[in-house]
């Protein structure tokens, strides 16, 4: 059985940067992140040992310093932090910042802002904050039919980790219903590459294993792509979840990981599969 690994594995640039910022902030004592810094339990536990704790609201933060994670936050959080006299260490990924800035720009230019993404995701909640929560969030082609885009100037941004095929289909549907559209393709380079890698691997492998947090949006997208193109696909968080029977009659297995999955875990998964007899 041949085991192939995705070209890009390990933390993406944004996750690596947010961890570095948190580690620097924690040098002089305990600090708090607003929400978990990344979707990986082992890394979160390790960070906790280094004094980087999780808070769910600014009131819960016991330290002077607070860390904004890579997903970003709405302006109201920065204002609240000021009221509580917190010192912000901003881990917002520059690619997320770009979505926020472009949405704001469109809003100020008078466009009806459409955010293609998942409404409940923290990145989208943050972006909405930059346009006074007045944007339309669209997740699927079906959602497009709920709105009347006719005679409106439509400005589009997309969640950094969104799936390319769904994004393009949604844009096409909106095009059919409107006259003027301005689009910023704000999917991040890491997402583009990982999704492309995963699609190619899934097409050539009998089984796909996607490693990453069950709450991680970008990992879930990789799993969906794997299910679409491969005969069998599994989403695991830890190497211990691997089951021997998944690989019965398989000639090739592809392994890919989310952008907050440490490289070592993906490599460990590959090694375990290679040793299955
Ligand atoms: Fe940033 Fe993309 Fe990673 S938006 S946090 S580089 S998945």
Digit-coded pLDDT (tens) for 13-30:
999 999 999 999 999 889
Q: Measuring from atom 5 of ligand 1, which residue has the nearest CA?
A: 14
| Global confidence as pTM | 0.93
Closest CA to 242 of 227, 253, 230: 253
pLDDT of residue 39: 83
For residue 3, report the distance from its CA to the centre of ligand 1, in Å: 27
85 assigned to active site: no
Q: Which tens digit of pLDDT belongs to each residue from 175-192?
A: 999 999 999 999 999 999
Q: CB of 11 closer than 6 A to ligand 1?
A: no
Mean pLDDT confidence for 216-243: 95
For residue 247, report the distance from its CA to the centre of ligand 1, in Å: 32
Tell me the pLDDT of the chain averaged across its residues: 95
Round to whole Å and give the CA distance between 94 and 96.
Answer: 5
pLDDT above 90 (res 38):
no
Q: CB of 95 closer than 6 A to ligand 1?
A: yes
Q: Which atom of ligand 1 has the smallest separation from the CA of 94?
A: 1
Q: Which atom of ligand 1 has the smallest separation from the CA of 71?
A: 5
pLDDT of residue 34: 93
Q: Which tens digit of pLDDT belongs to each residue from 74-86?
A: 999 999 999 999 9
Q: What percent of the chain has pLDDT over 90?
A: 92
Mean pLDDT confidence for 108-130: 97
Q: Which tens digit of pLDDT belongs to each residue from 190-226?
A: 999 999 999 999 999 999 999 999 989 999 999 999 9
Q: Which of 126, 191, 193, 212 to mutate to test the pocket of ligand 1 (most atoms within 8 A of CB)?
A: 191
Q: Which of 33, 121, 190 to mutate to test the pocket of ligand 1 (most atoms within 8 A of CB)?
A: 190
Q: Measuring from atom 6 of ligand 1, which residue has the nearest CA?
A: 14
Q: Long-range CB contacts (< 8 A, 24+ apart) of 138-144? A: 138/114, 138/170, 138/174, 140/166, 140/170, 141/166, 141/169, 141/170, 141/173, 143/170, 144/170, 144/173, 144/174, 144/177
């Amino acid at each position: 059985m041949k085991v192939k690994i995705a070209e890009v594995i390990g933390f993406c640039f944004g996750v690596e940067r947010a961890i570095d910022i948190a580690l620097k902030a924690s040098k002089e004592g305990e600090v708090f992140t607003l929400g978990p810094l990344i979707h990986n339990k082992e890394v979160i536990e390790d960070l906790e040992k280094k004094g980087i704790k999780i808070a769910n609201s600014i009131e819960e933060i016991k330290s002077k310093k607070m860390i904004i994670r890579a997903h970003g936050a709405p302006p109201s959080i920065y204002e609240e932090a000021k009221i509580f006299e917190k010192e912000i260490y901003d881990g917002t990924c520059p690619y997320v910042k770009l979505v926020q800035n472009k949405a704001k720009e469109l809003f100020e230019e008078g466009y009806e802002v459409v955010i293609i993404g998942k409404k409940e995701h923290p990145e989208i909640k943050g972006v909405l904050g930059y346009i006074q929560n007045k944007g339309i969030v669209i997740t699927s082609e079906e959602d497009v039919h709920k709105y009347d885009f006719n005679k409106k100037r439509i400005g589009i941004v997309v969640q950094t980790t969104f799936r390319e095929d769904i994004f393009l289909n949604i844009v096409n549907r909106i095009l059919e219903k409107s006259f003027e559209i301005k689009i910023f393709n704000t999917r991040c380079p890491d997402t583009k590459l990982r999704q492309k890698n995963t699609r190619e691997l899934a097409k050539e492998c009998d089984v796909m294993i996607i490693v990453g947090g069950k709450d991680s949006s970008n990992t879930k997208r990789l799993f969906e792509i794997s299910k679409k193109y491969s005969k069998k696909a599994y989403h695991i968080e830890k190497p211990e979840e691997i089951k021997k029977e998944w690989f019965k009659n398989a000639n090739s297995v592809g392994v890919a990981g989310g952008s907050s999955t440490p490289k070592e875990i993906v490599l460990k998964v590959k090694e375990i599969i290679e040793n299955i007899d």
